Amino acid sequence: MASINPVTDVVRAVRDALDGGSAYAPQPRLSDGAIPPGTALVLRTSGSTGNPREVALSAAALRASAEATHDRLGGPGRWLLVLPPTHVAGIQVINRSVIAGTEVRVGALDRFTPEEFAALAADFLAHGTRAYVSLVPTQLHRLVTAADDGAAAGLDALARFDAVLVGGAATPAPLLARARAAGVRVVTTYGMSETSGGCVYDGVPLAGVRVRLADDGGVGTGTGTGTVSLSTGTGVVELAGPVLAEGYVGDPDATSAAFRTDPDGTRWFRTSDLGRLDDGRLTILGRADDVILTGGVNVAPPAVEDAIAECLAELGTPGEACVVGVPDDEWGQAVVAVLAVRDGAPAGRDLADGGPELLSGLRSAVAQRLGAPSAPRRVYVTATLPTRGPGKVDRRAVRDAVVRAEAAREPVRP
């Protein structure tokens, strides 16, 4: 179970594991817990809900995931790997290629630049038939931003892929619109290590996958009605199907809490996300524990982030936004936005006050779209947002940085 670094060795290890060989862990093991029989891969979660756990995925689950993905995308193809093969999104690129018997080409995994992607993709696309690639939103953002700055080779190359899977974190609506306007065949994905990666594409479950919403007591409903809600028809997302993991290695309590079996024998995985179902299409509203309760009103950070991104795009200053709630004597929690912008931001990940003009403009834009409670009460700017795993914004680190910045603010005097 030792970690193997060269990607060629990873491909070999995944192939052997799928064929019934020893289970493979792309990262050093966290514990010496017994691995469930039939496990092919042991993947580490990103730790967004606390300490990372090790997820046991069977060969059957991995095959079901890969086959359902290719079925949705229009058939097997060659994959370009530009994500680290240590997390589920990257390892799934290898898994799909191994199962389909197609080529996987490897890019620079330690850094991603539009220039290097353009050169790599041009060579990759010159050979073979159907071509696929998986990205995280940060990578897509870099390609779109480079194109807006006059260096469009990377985005142009991306538009030549038969499908571009984007997942691992919420993708801002303006970023999706800009990419699709450039001809990129973006497919948004939702899933996690416990579901063999993405299992809901563009809001629609893959073949064999089922989605339901649950109330805060863990009672599932297929109609989308839940008591943990931001509005009617929302609840905690639960997923079922052949893509589910066996459980968490060495943690039976966490396994029994997250994976539950109905009386009819259907096994469900309870996520930590709030969602809404509209005619069978799933919309993710954000993590249940990230919802901000301000003045008695629930605010979903992703919705505010989308509104801010649209406003910034209209102003001609595109950037990434992370919205968090921080303690506030008057409101319980205050909605605070942190923007990663290129101009006027401090070096590194320090935060600077965005100023009254930016705050006023964003408050007005968000209030118009989502209502006054969702409007940020303060705005900070920074050069880059902290991330964890494959490009996912580390919301907890952002919140901690905001709390420090709030403590350093000059007191407001009457």
Burial string for 161-191 (b: 16+ CB within 10 Å, else e) reads bbbbbbbbbbbbbbbbebbeebebbbbbbbb
Query: How large is the average pLDDT for residues 341-350?
Result: 66
Q: With a cut of 90, say whether residue 204 has pLDDT above it.
A: yes
Q: What is the pLDDT of residues 221-263, one digit of tens each?
A: 443 322 233 334 689 999 999 999 999 999 999 999 999 999 9
For the chain, helix (H) and strand (E) counts, in that order, are: 11, 24
Rounded to two decimals, the pTM is: 0.79
pLDDT value for 185? 98
What pLDDT band is residue 138 in, cutting at 50, 70 and 90?
A: confident
First to last CA, the chain: 63
What pLDDT band is residue 1 in, cutting at 50, 70 and 90?
A: very low
Q: With a cut of 50, say whether residue 130 has pLDDT above it.
A: yes
Q: State both tokens at 300.
A: 């979903």
Contact 162, 77 (CB under 8 A): yes
pLDDT value for 285? 84
The DSSP code for 289 is G
The DSSP bridge partners found for residue 63 are none
Average pLDDT, the chain: 86
Helices (H), 102-192: 114-125, 137-148, 153-158, 173-181
339 CB neighbour count, 10 Å cutoff: 26
Higher pLDDT, 281 or 61: 61
% of the chain residues with pLDDT over 70: 88
Find where tokens 């064929």 sit: 19
pLDDT value for 411? 47
Contact 235, 228 (CB under 8 A): yes
Higher pLDDT, 265 or 215: 265
Q: What is the C-alpha to C-alpha distance for residues 1 and 221, in angstroms, rounded to an integer?
A: 40
pLDDT value for 290? 83
pLDDT value for 3? 42
Q: With a cut of 90, say whether residue 198 has pLDDT above it.
A: yes
The DSSP code for 34 is P
Give all domains of the chain, ordered by start, each with its CATH number: 7-205+242-252 (3.40.50.12780), 291-408 (3.30.300.30)
pLDDT value for 343? 65
Q: What is the pLDDT of residues 9-18, one digit of tens each?
A: 999 999 999 9
Query: How large is the average pLDDT for residues 70-80?
Result: 96
pLDDT value for 71? 97
